[in-house]
Amino acid sequence: MKVNKLLSIALLLVVALASCKKEETRPEIFSRINAEVLQNSKAYTTLEEATSTIGHRLTGSENGKKAEEYTYTKFKEYGFDDVQYQEFETKAWSRGTIDVTIDGESVKAVTLGHAPVEADVTGELIDMGNGLEADYAAAKPGVAKDKIVLIYISVLEGSPEGTRNLHRSEKTAIAIKHGAKGVVIFNQVDGGVLLTGTASVTGELIPIPAICIGKEKGFELKEKLKAGKEVEVHIQMTNNSDLIKARNVIATLKGSDLPDEKIIIGGHLDSWDLATGAIDNGIGSFAILDIARAFKANKLQPKRTIQFVMFMGEEQGLLGSTHMVREAVEKGTIENIKYMFNIDMGGNPIGVNAGGKLNDTTFFKTIGEEIAAVDTLYKNRFGNRSGLHSDHQPFMLEGVPILSIIGNLDRSIYRCYHADCDDFDLVNKDHITNTARFGTMILFALANAKTLPANKMDSETTKQFMIDNNLEEPLRIAGDWKWD
C-alpha cells in the first residue's frame, strides 16, 4: 500500500514537472532552425542533382514532367503525407528553327516565346528607342507601320529622367498596336549574350515574329540608322504551340489552431530551355523545397496551414499560379488564402518586401531583429512595394497580401537571365542555404502570428495599391486591369 502511494506521488511529480516545462520561445526556435539547416540543408545538392539529371524544366516538355515528379517525390521523402498534383491544361509554346539576316549578313538571334508557329518576314528596320509609348508619340505618325522595330530591352542612357521600363512582352504589344511587322529586341548584357522569354502579354501566340539579338549588334544597328542608312532584316522561323497538361506540385502542412487560414509559399519550378534554369528559378524553388524539409526535420507545427507550391508555367504567362487562383475564386476559397510568399530568383536574404496594406508595420521588423540576433548576415531591410510578372501577381490582383525576400546576390549572375549560361555553376551554396534557413524562420513566424500583419484588400484598396506601385499601365497593356 505504502509502495503504491509513493509511486502515485512520483507519477504526479513527473506530470507536474512536465506541465511546468518552459515553452520554447521564437528566438530559441530560430536558433534551432538555424543550426539544423546549416548542418542538413539539401537545397544545393537537390538543385545540383535536378539540373544534372533533368536539365531544363520547360512547361509541357518531358523534362518539365520529370521535374514535377522529382519534387513530388522529395516532398514525400521529407515526410509530407499530403502531397498533390494540381493539373491544368494549356497551350504551351516551344521553339523550333530560326534564321535571321540583316543586310544579307547572318546574325545570331534567339526567338522570343509565343512568336508565331511560322514566320517569314522581310522589312525595313527602324529604331524605336526604348519601345515605350513615348517613343512612338515622339516619332512621325505611322512610323512603325509595316516596319521591323529595333528596341532596347532596358532604358537607354540619356532617356528622360523618370522613364520607367516595361517588360519585353509589353514593348512587343505596343509595337503590334502601332502596326509593326516584326520586333528585334537587343539585350543589355555585354558579350553577345542572348535571352529568351515570352513576348506575349496574354500567353497566346503573337501575330508577328519577335527575336533577341546581342547588345553589341543592337548598338551597331542604332548607329547605322542614326547615320541615315537603310537596314533590311529578314526573319524566318518555325515554332510549336501544343495543348498540353502540366501540374503544380503542392505539399500541405495542416495548421493546428487555424487550419482554414492558409499561407502559401511558392516559386516557379519551370524554366526556359536554353540552359538548366539554375538561377531562374532553381535557387528559389529548391530553397522552398528545403524550407519544407526544415519544417518536418525541426518538427515545426504552424498554427495556420502552410502550402508549399512548385508552380509550373510561370515563364509562359503565370499559368500555374493563375490556375490556382482561378480555382480558389470559383470554389469560394480565395478568402482562406491569407498570404502568398513568393521566391523567384531571390536569394541570400537580408530583408523582406511585404506588398499590401499593412495593419502592423512592426511585425516584420521585430522578427527581423530576432533573425539578425541569430546571424548578422540578415540586415533586416524592409519594403512595401510590388511589381508584376511572377507568381505573386494573380494573388495580388485578388487583394491577397504578398511577401518576397530582399536578396543580396552577386549581380553578375543575372547576366545569364533566360540565357544559355543559366547553369548550376552560378549557384552559391552558402546563399541558397541562407535562403532556406532565413526563409524557414520568416515563414514560421508568419504562420504562427497572433494577428497577421496585413489582411486581404478589398477591390478599391487593391486598385489603389496597383496605382501607387505604377502598375496600371502594364496591367492595361496586358488586359489585366479589372477596375473599369
pLDDT (tens digit, 9 = 90+) per residue, 463-480?
999 999 999 999 999 999
Same CATH fold assignment for domains 26-92+243-478 and 104-230: no
Q: Which string of DSSP letters, residue by residue, matches 255-304?
A: -SSEEEEEEEEEEE----SSS--IIIIIHHHHHHHHHHHHHHHTT---SE
pTM of the model: 0.94
Grid coordinates representing 46?
537537390
Asked whether 143 and 126 are in contact (CB, 8 A), the reply is: yes
pLDDT (tens digit, 9 = 90+) per residue, 156-165?
999 999 999 9
Grid coordinates representing 222?
542604332
Q: What mean pLDDT is reported for the chain?
A: 95
CATH architecture of 104-230: 3-Layer(bba) Sandwich (3.50)
Give me the CATH code for the 26-92+243-478 domain, please. Answer: 3.40.630.10
pLDDT (tens digit, 9 = 90+) per residue, 171-190?
999 999 999 999 999 999 99
Would you kindly state where each structural domain of the chain is located, as residue ranges?
A: 26-92+243-478, 104-230
pLDDT (tens digit, 9 = 90+) per residue, 324-346?
999 999 999 999 999 999 999 99
pLDDT above 60 for 382: yes
Q: Which string of DSSP letters, residue by residue, matches 120-182?
A: EEEEEEEE-TT-SHHHHHTS-TTTTTTSEEEEESS--TTPPTTPPP--HHHHHHHHHHTT-SE
Q: Between β-strands 381-383 and 337-342, what pairing exists: parallel, antiparallel or unpaired?
A: unpaired
Residues in the chain: 484
